[in-house]
Amino acid sequence: MSIAGPKLRRVLAGKLFPGVRSAGAAKARSNSGEEASSGYPRRVSIRAALAFTFGVIIAVTAAALILALESGRQNTVALVRDRSERIIDTIVERTRLHLDPARDQSEFLARLFRDGDLDPQDEAASLSQLRAALAGIPQVAALAVIRTDLKQLRAERHGDDIVLRQIDMRTVPGLDEAFEMARSAGHPVWEELLWSERLNQPLVNVRTPLWHEGSFLGILLTAVTVSELSRFLAESPAGSDVGAFILLGRNHVLAHAALAHKPQLFKRDKPLPEVTEIGDPVLASIWSPDPDLGAAAFVGSSKSHVVTVDRVPYVFIYRDITGYSDQPWVVGRYLPLDEIGSEVRRLEHAAWLGLGAVLVAVAGAWLVGYAIGKPILRLARATSAIRTLDLTSARPLAGSHLRELDEAIRAYNALIATLHWFETYGQAADGTGRTGVSTCRAGSHGAVYRHCRLHELCRTAIGVRCGDVPQ
């Protein structure tokens, strides 16, 4: 039972809380449309405010994180691109370091003949000079002077020894054409591969025209074995893991780790094996149809594409070089895609983790706001019963894990207990089971009036007599 009737509750509520109506009046105003014109601004919930505040803070932090990650991604891509270029640069440089000394030695010997320091008619002196030159360039398999009188002076390598030979070339076809090409070129020229019966493999060779006192003497032939080129390439740091290769054209393998130790791959009728014949399934797939060009971002001026072999993606990085044969060479290396793009993917994973952390933080802020707002909303709804003096609807509230909210709830529970005690005390003092208000209005201003706190509230806080309170 309430300590006051409906009319008394409305009067007290109007005096104690001006501008605030009872629950029934508010409901009536809502039904009649008056609430829209009440003039109160729209309120924002705590959880929305917390979520927005934390969201702004996290968004600013996330923006800085995104900028840092993007800068890191670009720097990482640049570093990966530089590393990829250095891989190809190393292979190309190693190839040139292996072949260019042969051409340089040929030019040096040609100058000796041209300047008269070496007499072409002195065969012993010529062979001695060829021996000395061959000893200084271990990658060269043979040096040969082919004169226009169809005689050949040759120094060739047999293991650790150098053998000198004189060969009659009158039965060899095509020499006239070779002489004419060398005379027309006027400088060292890398020509098509030659087959060596003694070595049972093809030879990369450079042909240098020889002149003496203005007369054309013949050709200086300098030959490098394909297996030696493959061995040199495989032993270089960039050629490790059997990834480096040199192709003649697109399909013939000129240098590969397999060619350094498998001489049976060379055949007279087919000097160079094709990419599908050396036992390397990755290299065999280099020209697979519909390659993935997604690795272009990790490569600079070189060419690249990705192929998948046994469900493992490999990236080919390669470059065309000219000047060492009648066809361009494709110099490159392949390696697993994870090896070249792992750094960038780690940054991308970090970016996704950062985005996930932002979303989790916003959701957490929303949940924290909900956890804080829910007990506050329960407390506000409970105090509305006190505002309307409807103690029958006022019940104690459960505590909160948040200290400040728990203290407010404890204060509210103490207030409810006190008001219920006042209600019980007023009824007991009257002795009739009616409220103190009824007794006061009946003119009984004795002990009940002195002990009823509600009547003092009427007299001091509201400024009305108890008898003036409507029932």
d(CA 146, CA 90) in angstroms, rounded, equals 35
Q: Check residue 265 and report its DSSP letter.
A: G
Least confidently predicted of 6-20, 183-197, 245-259, 439-453: 439-453
- The answer, yes or no, to whether residue 259 has pLDDT greater than 50, is yes
Q: What are phi and psi of 389, to 5 degrees?
A: 60, 30
Rounded alpha-carbon distances, angstroms, from residue 236 to 69, 240, 241, 257, 303: 35, 7, 10, 11, 21
Q: Look up tokens 């105003």; give the residue.
A: 29
Please tell me the distance from the alpha carbon of residue 434 to that of residue 452, in angstroms, as a whole number.
13
More confident residue, 54 or 328: 328
Considering the chain, tell me which residue range(s) the CATH 3.30.450.20 domain(s) occupy. Answer: 65-224
CATH of domain 65-224: 3.30.450.20
Q: Averaging pLDDT over each range in 67-71, 221-225, 399-403, which range is the top one? A: 221-225
How many C-beta neighbours within 10 Å does residue 110 have? 21
Q: Is the pLDDT of residue 190 over 60?
A: yes
Predicted pLDDT at 55 = 72
What's the CA gap between 141 and 222, in Å, rounded? 8
CATH of domain 230-343: 3.30.450
Query: How much is the mean pLDDT over the chain?
Result: 75
Mean pLDDT of 191-209: 90
pLDDT at position 463, please? 44
Q: What is the pLDDT of residue 164?
A: 93
**Stretch among 46-60, 275-289, 410-424, 434-448 having the lowest mean pLDDT:** 434-448
- Residue 155's pLDDT band, with cuts at 50, 70 and 90, is very high
What Rg do the C-alpha atoms of the chain give, in angstroms?
A: 50
